[in-house]
Chain A
């Protein structure tokens, strides 16, 4: 499907996942859907690429997983932010704000 697809960098995907989880625990499918809806489909990811990222972040200790029951009564794996993950998110957001502010100022500068 053609569209304004943005090639997501690995690190960016991680931050987005962290942000998604900052409101509470979710399973993988819900994370993907939330990203899709919130960004008005501007950000399109190959759904499969979400999962290696989740495992990797689990290894790094940013998120924790536990098996639970989905809304529809199926067994699902739920992810949750750890304290480390929360700190990581704060740092990434701050860095992002600084970067985007600077880039924005450059792009909007009048010659």
Chain B
């Protein structure tokens, strides 16, 4: 069969095949005795409709050819992929660097984007969450909580002018879940409307009815998915049974789905608020968080206007309770994400810079590799490989690289997310819910594939176009060298600029961290142990009982061996608890517009000394500052400056917390303490004042939920005092739970966790960025040395010393580095302003930081180019010229 490879076009194929059949039939019929004419007629009759058959064959044939084409294409793709893999395996160094670079950039970006998505972009699992608004009382530039009285009146106003489908309130408090092992958990009191506003159906059972949200109704509870799984065994049959909260049985009516656990530390159960008539008339105690769902077609502005008007009426009716406040609406999502937004966008920006550096690096690698192989391409072209084929092979190689890098990057992203969710600071909502984001991976992969293909293709196209003869003769594609070198150096300059911005940002954060370590907290955390103690409202309803119990516990504790000092406070620095009150100095009109807001701490005598705070002027509370004696207070410097600028505050009188215009219950300032960093070492001090526990107004016991912190100082390990703390409480009332027991040093450290987290993250990203840039610089200088071997050889033959050669090569490597440094400095100058709110003790444009980073960057770049430059000096002049 000689014509094995003969392949006619489809119409010819069909015609020739059918003609062959007819001719054979005619031949056989003639052999059987028919005349040629009869035989032809008979053959045609037996065959049928020749035209129709031919047409059908051509249609089928066309379909057959298309299929064969596809299979051929697939086969070639497989071949190309195999070729790509082989050629990558032949260059393990190149492959490893390119893969690692791409995978790092890809995996990092994907992981961080996934986190940004989980925290910021992904909406809460609330239907049409954009319609849910947080309504807060607003005064002196601060969003504040809402009093029950105001909330009730807002609801009434919404009936007259309906803007919201409903307004619901939530208020958090801790609760003791009684059982084999009593546990303090975060609970929320909500109104029946709350769940309707959130519009989330319970997983099992139901939410509260209006009837259950009234005082005197049977006690019911809705459980969170987390508590149900974690503590109660995840059994649906739990609905209808009762659980004990602070010893009181509550009927479980429903269980919310897991998506309703908005964050890892959100509330674990809900009980009806069931406001009493007394509470509903109370406009003075602001502690509710109020949400409303806008009716269809109502704008937030219109709804806010309605509430503002309603509130103006309230301000007129209750001037002391509401002062000059008004109402502000804010989307729930915005309030929820809050601070974390800026932080994550910063991190995302940093990661994107690293990805760009990675892509530039791989682009450079591919360019160098393409240039080094121009001879190979020329040879392949000369032995008949079509330009398309060469391009395809190169694309396949880039494609294989990109696919492998994507797979590696996805694995890396997965690992980073696991690490991230494990190490996440508790303050970032939903970070623990981060999942690998496929869209982000897709985007990063597209960027990686795109840049790999683009820069893999550029040398291929050039090689395919290159003058074959000259390429083969000189061994290098000389003609295109200039432009390609420019591109290469521009890429390096870009990388250096990006790396410099990252490094400056990271260095500023690190310097902040160092500064914060040295910040004087205003007290001595070493040797302090603290714990929270709550008295159940049922048994300690009378303020005297609560006060007496706390005093007994403190007396026991102070008498324990090893205790050098002990005190009680409503809130230790950086710890839970606390609240704000307005203070009016004597002489100012007794109305809320003259009030200065300040944090209140209710403490026992000796708190200042136990904490190691510094009494700047005056005296501490003493045993004589009791109920019935003249009322006294302490305040910190910041508050003293705000209330009495330029005057000595000792002896001055202040109204606050209780009483009214007719009976201001003046409190005399007996001492001023130095400021403490009560909100964190990286935060500025706030205004604080202190009241002795024995003189605290009765209503304050409700404000603080009958909860105080025990503080004890010892020499040596503070945790050694833990048994003493427990014993001090047990001897007074064994049923009281002591919780959040820990050292003050631990509290301080926890407060710094978010800052540590972002510093570590940005530093590692900057490190990766620097490393990638150095690899890039090294690669380019190596390439330049290879390409200029001949020239270097000639120079050396003409008497250039190794020093000359080194200077030449390093200089050429450093030129783009210096340009990149200049650009990066300008970029960092603009970008570090975004960091300003996180910086302490260092300005965003700190010259020392900038100078240090530039020196480090240029220095390491010089080292990276020195290595190949040394190789250049080893060039054997004769050898180099001969190969030229």
Contacts and interface: CB of A to CB of B under 8 A. Distances in A.
Asked whether A and B interact, the reply is yes
Contacts, number: 80
B21 A58 contact: no
A32 B18 CA distance: 12
A69 B1 contact: yes
B132 to A, nearest CB: 59
Contacts of B46: 46-47
Given A47-B47, A66-B4, A77 B13 contact: yes
A97 interface: no
A88 B16 CA distance: 29
B60 A59 contact: yes
A51 B20 contact: no
A37 to B, nearest CB: 12
Interface string B27-54: 0000000000000000000111110110
A46 B49 CA distance: 9
A29 B23 CA distance: 10
B25 interface: yes
Pick the most buried of A32, A52, A58: most chain B CB atoms within 10 A of its CB. Answer: A52
A59 B59 CA distance: 11
A30 to B, nearest CB: 9
B603 to A, nearest CB: 88
Interface string A62-77: 0000111110001111
Nearest to A74: B20
Contact of B64 (A28, A51, A55, A78): A55
Contacts of B47: 46-48
Contacts of A51: 14, 17-18, 21, 53, 56-57
Nearest to A25: B1
Given A27-B20, A52-B57, A47 B3 contact: no
B73 to A, nearest CB: 15
A61 B23 CA distance: 28
B466 to A, nearest CB: 40
A98 interface: no
B61 A55 contact: yes
A60 to B, nearest CB: 9
A56 B57 CA distance: 8
B21 to A, nearest CB: 5
Nearest to B53: A48
A33 to B, nearest CB: 8
Nearest to A52: B56
Interface residues of B, number: 31
Contacts of B8: 67
A84 interface: no
Contacts of B60: 52, 55-56, 58-59
B20 A46 contact: no
A61 B68 CA distance: 9
A42 interface: no
Nearest to A76: B20
A12 interface: no
A75 B7 CA distance: 11
Interface string B172-203: 00000000000000000000000000000000
Nearest to B55: A52
Contacts of A28: 17, 20-21
Contacts of B21: 28-29, 32, 47, 51
Nearest to A28: B21
Contacts of A29: 20-21, 24-25
Given A29-B21, A46-B48, A77-B17, A67 B4 contact: yes
A6 B4 CA distance: 37
B369 interface: no
Interface string B65-93: 00100000000000000000000000000
B803 interface: no
Interface string A31-52: 0100000000000001111011
B646 interface: no
B25 A67 contact: no
A68 B67 contact: no
19 contacts: A28-B20, A29-B20, A29-B25, A46-B47, A47-B46, A47-B47, A48-B50, A51-B21, A51-B56, A59-B60, A67-B4, A68-B1, A68-B4, A69-B1, A69-B2, A69-B3, A70-B20, A75-B6, A77-B13
Interface of B: 1-4, 6-8, 13-14, 16-18, 20-21, 23-25, 46-50, 52-53, 56-57, 60-61, 63-64, 67
Q: Which 10 A-B pairs have the closest CB atoms?
A: A68-B1, A55-B60, A48-B48, A59-B64, A48-B53, A52-B56, A46-B48, A29-B24, A48-B47, A29-B21
